[in-house]
Amino acid sequence: MIEDLWYKNAVIYCLSVGTFMDANGDGIGDFSGLERRLDYLVGLGVTALWLMPFQPSPMRDNGYDVSDYYGVDPRYGTLGDFVAFTHAAKQRGLKVLIDLVVNHTSDRHPWFQSARSDPDSPTRDWYVWSKTKPPHADSGVVFPGVQKTTWTYDRAARAYYFHRFYDFQPDLNTANPRVQAEILKIMGFWIQLGVSGFRMDAVPFVIAEKGPEVTGAPVEQFGMLRQFREFLQWRQGDAIILAEANVLPRQDLDYFGEDADRMHMMFNFQVNQGLFHALATATTERLLDCLEKTRARPASAQWAQFLRNHDELDLGRLSAEEREAVFAAFGPDPDMQLYGRGIRRRLPPMLSGDRRRLELAYSLMFTLPGTPVLRYGDEIGMGDDLRLPERECARTPMQWSDEPEGGFTKSARPVAPPIRSGPYGYPHVNAAVQRHDPNSLLNWLERIIRMRKEVPEIGWGDFTVLRTGAESVLGLRYEWRNNAVVCLHNLAAEPIEIRFATGLPGEGGALTDLLTGERNPPDESGRHTLLLEGYGYRWYRAGGLDYLLKRSEV
């Protein structure tokens, strides 16, 4: 199988076309606008984009309710604009991943419309029906408090249909071979138009057995994942699937495949929750536990590490006590919380806009085992608008400048209200201002991204936890091909002096700070002493040529 492991050392940037940049002035972001911003993204240093759904949709779930898998929603442009965009991205060396939302369709999709109106419809069996209401219909909802049930009666069909998510998102009967064939066709279509893979939505539900008789934990059809991967790679060797699968660590290998024949990448939800627990409590134990539990993976498989995404920060895998600690620190107000399990804010307001803490959080995320995923606006420290419902609060338009509507659109009626006032309003927080300020978050992040790309050890190598003797300090060492880096993060507000050994053969010699060039030599016992400021961080490359030579003799 021809493969290209580009994703091992990538930096992924995720965005919604509709809220990124509006080129034609109708108030809605579009592909032409995105194309004009590609040089900004290349300048930032990201190497791959992940686009949230942009296919035709009634937009009742931010596009995660697709009504035509083979098109571009006219609000965003045409298929022609899409191809112009992928071409322009390719010219600049940017890979494009797109969302693949095939657990369910919109209820407006012609497949569902046909299925519900005629029992003999060719797509009737593409959905999941029941004559009577299944007894467990009210369990297993994904959006508690907003979504009441997973089975809803449809009068035209005279039957209940299954929907894991909202009632306007009927689940596809993914066990049906025709549905499976259609999913492959959809992948093949977009591959042909220039994408390098997919962020596959809700994977555990895609492969779950569905039906009125299914009770308790559904059985997954893992074979399907291999089928998806094989098809993709036979068509295009460097194409990948990045799975959204918030599962327990013992299931990770089921998703990656023991022989690395299933998902190439998975978001590390486990570590994400441990990370926020660490930031909230200034202790590293829980995070280390998450890192250990998700250590095992096939060599070519990769974790995607992230801070916040377009959904709520899901803390469902923490204990009640741990979750309370994160709520207390970052989302004490019930209005900041969502679905009884998460926080719906963006990162900067959670960290009180404190630059030191933001740098710490990003630096930490960039040095966790895997590939970092940024969300648009993170690079300038965008905030949220809690007056907007549910997850919409963290999906406001990109703030480009201090012009009206933050330079996102020339229209006075933007698709979603940009943040206009307050500390996170576009007059203060915008890309144009930050570009001119060498000390801005944007320019800092650009440097961190450059540094991360120069440290392939993190994406490719194995990590070792260093003993720093301080519970607030996370020390990780990565090694790959005779090179090693050491990353240290102090989660606490107070400065701390630590002593540590790198554990490298011959003690690895002096450490060189990748940001400042400063050297930290070992003492006679081979250990290093370091004063870390409150929320301080360091990235060191271990040893010099000497160390390299020693290792390559082995």
Q: x/- binding map, residues 98-117, to ligand GLC, per CB under 6 A?
A: ---x----------------
Q: Which of residues 41-70 bind ligand GLC (CB under 6 A)?
A: 61, 64
Q: Does 165 bind ligand GLC (CB under 6 A)?
A: yes
The tokens for 544 are 């010099």
Q: Does 492 bind ligand GLC (CB under 6 A)?
A: no
Q: Which is nearer to ligand GLC, 54 or 64 (CB)?
A: 64
Q: How far apart, in whole angstroms, are the C-alpha atoms of residue 204 and residue 538?
A: 37
Q: Are 547 and 506 in contact (CB under 8 A)?
A: yes
The per-residue DSSP string of 433-457 comes to: HHHT-TTSHHHHHHHHHHHHHT-HH
Q: Which is nearer to ligand GLC, 144 or 469 (CB)?
A: 144
Q: Which is nearer to ligand GLC, 147 or 409 (CB)?
A: 147
CA distances from 131 to 94, 128, 134, 158, 426 (A): 49, 11, 9, 7, 53
Number of residues that bind ligand GLC (CB under 6 A): 9
The tokens for 145 are 């408090």
* Active site (annotated) includes residue 244: yes
CA distances from 97 to 435, 452, 461, 502 (A): 27, 20, 24, 37
Q: Which is nearer to ligand GLC, 345 or 452 (CB)?
A: 345
Q: Which is nearer to ligand GLC, 82 or 165 (CB)?
A: 165
Q: Does 359 bind ligand GLC (CB under 6 A)?
A: no
Q: Are 287 and 307 in contact (CB under 8 A)?
A: no
CA distances from 65 to 61, 111, 181, 304, 445 (A): 6, 13, 20, 24, 33
* Active site (annotated) includes residue 4: no
What minimum distance in Å lies between the beta carbon of 248 and ligand GLC?
Answer: 17
165 binds, among Ca ion, ligand GLC, none (CB under 5 to 8 A by kind): ligand GLC
Q: Provide the 8-state DSSP code for 170.
A: P
Q: Which residue in 35, 154, 201, 405 binds ligand GLC (CB under 6 A)? A: 201
What minimum distance in Å lies between the beta carbon of 61 and ligand GLC?
Answer: 5
Q: Which is nearer to ligand GLC, 303 or 535 (CB)?
A: 303
The per-residue DSSP string of 325-358 comes to: HHHHHH--SGGGEETTTEE-S-HHHHTTT-HHHH
Residue 298, SS3 per DSSP: coil
22 binds, among ligand GLC, Ca ion, none (CB under 5 to 8 A by kind): Ca ion
Radius of gyration of the chain measured on its C-alpha atoms: 24
Of 35, 61, 201, 252, which is the active-site residue? Answer: 201
What minimum distance in Å lies between the beta carbon of 166 and ligand GLC?
Answer: 8
Can you tell me which residue has the tokens 């997919």? Answer: 198
Q: How far apart, in whole angstroms, are the C-alpha atoms of residue 530 and residue 518?
A: 12
Of 30, 154, 244, 379, which is the active-site residue? Answer: 244
Q: Are 300 and 5 in contact (CB under 8 A)?
A: yes
Burial of 250 (0-12, 13-18, 19+ CB in 10 A): exposed
Q: Are 18 and 28 in contact (CB under 8 A)?
A: yes
Q: Are 187 and 198 in contact (CB under 8 A)?
A: yes
Q: x/- binding map, residues 306-335, to ligand GLC, per CB under 6 A?
A: ----xx------------------------
201 binds, among ligand GLC, Ca ion, none (CB under 5 to 8 A by kind): ligand GLC
Q: x/- binding map, residues 242-281, to ligand GLC, per CB under 6 A?
A: --x-------------------------------------
101 binds, among Ca ion, ligand GLC, none (CB under 5 to 8 A by kind): ligand GLC
Can you tell me which residue has the tokens 């969302």? Answer: 99
Q: Which is nearer to ligand GLC, 147 or 502 (CB)?
A: 147
Residue nearest to ligand GLC (CB): 64
26 binds, among ligand GLC, Ca ion, none (CB under 5 to 8 A by kind): Ca ion
238 binds, among ligand GLC, Ca ion, none (CB under 5 to 8 A by kind): none
Q: Which residue in 202, 318, 350, 419 binds ligand GLC (CB under 6 A)? A: 202
30 binds, among Ca ion, ligand GLC, none (CB under 5 to 8 A by kind): Ca ion
Q: Which is nearer to ligand GLC, 245 or 514 (CB)?
A: 245
**Pairing of β 337-338 and β 342-343:** antiparallel
Q: Interface with ligand GLC by CB under 6 A: which residues?
A: 61, 64, 101, 165, 201-202, 244, 310-311
Residues with a catalytic annotation lie at: 201, 244
